[in-house]
Amino acid sequence: MFVVYHIASTHMVGPAPGYASPHTMYARTYKTAHMAKRTCDKFNAKEHRTWGGETLEGPGSYGWCSADHYQKRVVRMVERTNMMSGKKFMEPSNTPGYMSPSSEAYWSM
């Protein structure tokens, strides 16, 4: 099994229906490396990064790897502060804001 993820946030992403743009709500696993690589290449090609009027080429914001590698090496534990109690705690780097006690969205539900 393989996954496509946003490198900076480590969130798994997948193509949103009808748009083929990356979204965390539609994250999925791929059966073959070829399918994951092809999806990752599509996401990176959609990024139109320009600087000074020139289109930049490069690896892009998305990467792909095996699901096992993703869980063991890509997702890391980060220290955050509980918004209500002020205590520090550790959580995975890919925890969405609405599921993290460090965010206002978590406490407003």
The residues of the chain scoring below 70 in pLDDT are: 20, 48-53, 55-58
Count CB-CB contacts under 10 A for residue 29.
15
pTM of the model: 0.77
Q: Token pair for residue 36?
A: 């994951």
Q: Token pair for residue 88?
A: 């520090």
User: Which pLDDT score, from 0 to 100, does residue 42 have?
Assistant: 87
Q: What is the Cα Rg of the chain in Å?
A: 16
Which pLDDT tens digit goes with each residue over 57-76? 667 889 999 999 999 999 99
User: Which pLDDT score, from 0 to 100, does residue 86 have?
Assistant: 93
User: Which pLDDT score, from 0 to 100, does residue 48 have?
Assistant: 64
How far apart, in whole angstroms, are the C-alpha atoms of residue 95 and residue 92?
Answer: 6
User: Which pLDDT score, from 0 to 100, does residue 103 have?
Assistant: 92
